Amino acid sequence: MKIVAVISTLFALLAAPAGAADVGFEEVKIANGAEPPLTAGVWYPTNAPATSHSLGNFTQTVAPDAPIAGHGLPLVVMSHGGGGSYDGHYDTALALAHAGFVAAAVSHAGDTFDDQSQVLQLWRRPAQLHRLVDYMLAEWPWRERLDAARVGAFGFSNGGFTVLVAAGGVPDLSEIAPYCEAHADHDLCVALQHAGVDPHFGADIPAGAWVSDRRINAAVSAAPAFGFAFGRAGLSSVRIPIQLWRAANDRHQPHPYYEEAVRANLPRTPEYHVVANAGHYDFLPPCDARLSRNAPDVCNSLPDFDRAEFHEQFNAAVVHFFQATLR
């Protein structure tokens, strides 16, 4: 796997966060038009002592509702994968907060573990991420501690797609039908067939449905879904720095139709990582025994792949990327 700097240097950066000893956490509600409010989690630097807490599917060492430490803090907004929730990348959020960032992650209404009712309405996701940025910069109680000129975005799978749209990408979902005609055995196409969904469903989506956010100045996209749907024209307006990740053994998003399609069509060469022996879900944090029993397809890695070790490297590289690009 390619790492952009010496790992020991990156760990040193994580071990010496800017002006704070621990991580604060709070869950917030965000207005979402006529729909119920969105739920989001926010991790941030604090000098209050952190303790172990069971939050969602994971145990985290945080200080709930503690006062924030620092001024002029950069913000990274986060978008989870399909069927996930805001805590799906909690370890990356903790790493960012330890390094002096504020990390805010939204649960995408209609595409969460307990509500898949609007999973194919992909244009909803960038709009929800936009509302998260609005909230953090204009309504969050600690908003005066943020630097509105230093905003980044992180996303995995459907979230990787989401941050590419937020960065200016315009997908053409009418490409799904010809893709599935040519690759009927690929996971996306099999899932649509099993669900009884016509792959032409994206043909009538107006271009104006895709919400970009010019406040976002750098983005990390891990295993972005629907990569083939962008093309060169669809990515022509993505001019910010991009860190792009691919799992070499990703059987859900076969190479070269997803990450490679994005890499090849971005107008600005991304920082590109290919993770040997990794599967699609290895970008999610390591699971405990209970979660492994309940979700083996998501939790199990190849025998020769150490997900915990990879996440130390992955999180360090993500932090370093945002430190370098959100100056």
Residue 33: what pLDDT? 92
* Residue range of the domain that includes 279: 7-171+210-325
80 within a domain of the structure (yes/no): yes
Please choose, from the candidates 135, 204, 209, 141, the residue with its C-alpha nearest in 3D space to the C-alpha of residue 170. Answer: 209
For 11, list phi and psi in degrees, rounded to 5: -65, -35
Is the Cβ–Cβ distance between 57 and 134 less than 8 Å? no
**Binning pLDDT at 50, 70 and 90, where does residue 233 land?**
very high
Residue 221: what pLDDT? 99
Average pLDDT for 156-162: 98
Q: pLDDT at residue 304 above 60?
A: yes
203 within a domain of the structure (yes/no): no
Those residues with Cβ within 8 angstroms of residue 287's Cβ, 6 or more apart along the chain or in another chain: 295, 298, 299
Average pLDDT for 100-118: 96
The pLDDT mean for the chain works out to: 93
Domain total of the chain: 1
184 within a domain of the structure (yes/no): no
Largest CA distance in the chain: 56
Average pLDDT for 237-251: 98
Whole-model pTM above 0.95?
no
Q: pLDDT at residue 8 above 80?
A: no
127 within a domain of the structure (yes/no): yes
CATH number for the domain that contains residue 100: 3.40.50.1820
191 within a domain of the structure (yes/no): no
3-state secondary structure of 148: strand
307 within a domain of the structure (yes/no): yes
Q: pLDDT at residue 138 above 70?
A: yes
The predicted-structure confidence for 174-194, as pLDDT tens digits, reads as follows 999 999 999 999 999 999 999
Q: At what angle do helices 158-166 and 124-138 cross, to 10 degrees?
A: 60
92 within a domain of the structure (yes/no): yes
Residue 21: what pLDDT? 81
DSSP string, 199-223: GGGGTT--GGGPPP-TT--EEEEES
Average pLDDT for 281-308: 94
Neighbours of 191 (CB within 10 A): 13
Is the Cβ–Cβ distance between 160 and 222 less than 8 Å? yes
181 within a domain of the structure (yes/no): no
